[in-house]
Structure 1
């Protein structure tokens, strides 16, 4: 069965980006004939949440003004991409112990109560279930999932919060010390990844 893959890229680098390179290799591995790949490059800026956005998001849809609808148009488009995808690939270099600001901006745009999650009497409930996600991460020297890593645990939490709990991490750790070795280790992890059925 054909599937849709959404590739979110957040590295400020392009030609030299390890996360972009490894994400492309991963997508080539997990995709098949007829699969579609949607590219969302966050180098094309994502606006930050502001007061007007919050006001619009917490106004019932049927009561939103044209201005409020316009203010949520980007968020609606990003969420539609997520809803329509079967597999999510996030390229996330670690910048100063955390995710790039553009990736945090994307998270803030797609995490919307009543749209991608709900609050219930039992706590938050994610609505984007049945999806697979890969986090492709590169670090200069921070070990993934160490106390100094505020990126990968954060992304896992965000994804789980909106209902995406099937998450794998492909990590190139310590590229500032041994770039080639870090990439090779990430590729070794990737070698165990199998094509994902829709």
Structure 2
């Protein structure tokens, strides 16, 4: 049975537009074939931001790490292992002030590690993870572009994933979630079309 890692970032629980969209997407995948869903709820269990010990440990060779260094990286190791075990990754998140919520940025800071998920080479950073589909469902209260708000979250997350070797990345933006019902319905139609073609 294939495994999907669902990373949920919205603090709004059942009323969250991004969580509702993720539930629809996961139900559509289940309808094709049985899947195991692993939920990493960053709102219910927020991750600590990297501290000085974490940063030092992540930058030094593994053989030089002390027990406290290894302990500081233990959560990061668990999160990277969780990512490696998944056949596909579904991220559901709101847009906060044109960017990712801080809880999702903290997740990136734990999994995007030199020598672990990417290597430094003379030609630049090289991803160390095996590629797999990654989709980000991002809910926005208003519209994107055309004089409205800008999306800095999608290019950032795409670059972070590519750095780790995850090149099969898609960002699906659910616009106008806090506007009228017709605008929300249009976003849901776009979501349904995407669900039918998501690579698996």
Partner Cα separation in structure 2 for residue 183 and residue 71 of structure 1: 45
The correspondence of residues 18-167 of structure 1 with structure 2, limited to 5 A, is 18-31=17-30, 32-43=32-43, 44-143=45-144, 148-167=150-169
Encode CA deviations 1:49-72: one digit per residue, 9 max, x unaligned.
111101111222223211111111
Partner Cα separation in structure 2 for residue 144 and residue 189 of structure 1: 19
Alpha-carbon shift at residue 138 of structure 1 (Å): 0.5
In structure 1, stretches of 5+ residues that fail to align are none
TM-score (norm 2): 0.89
Alpha-carbon shift at residue 137 of structure 1 (Å): 0.6
Where is the helix percentage greater, Structure 1 or Structure 2?
2
Alpha-carbon shift at residue 92 of structure 1 (Å): 1.6
Alpha-carbon shift at residue 81 of structure 1 (Å): 0.6
| CA distance 1:108–1:180, shift in 2 (3 Å) | farther
In structure 2, stretches of 5+ residues that fail to align are none
The number of residue pairs the alignment matches comes to 196
Encode CA deviations 1:88-143: one digit per residue, 9 max, x unaligned.
00012101111100000000000001111111111111122320011101111241
Alpha-carbon shift at residue 21 of structure 1 (Å): 0.7
Q: Output the aligned Cα RMSD.
A: 2.1
TM-score (norm 1): 0.90
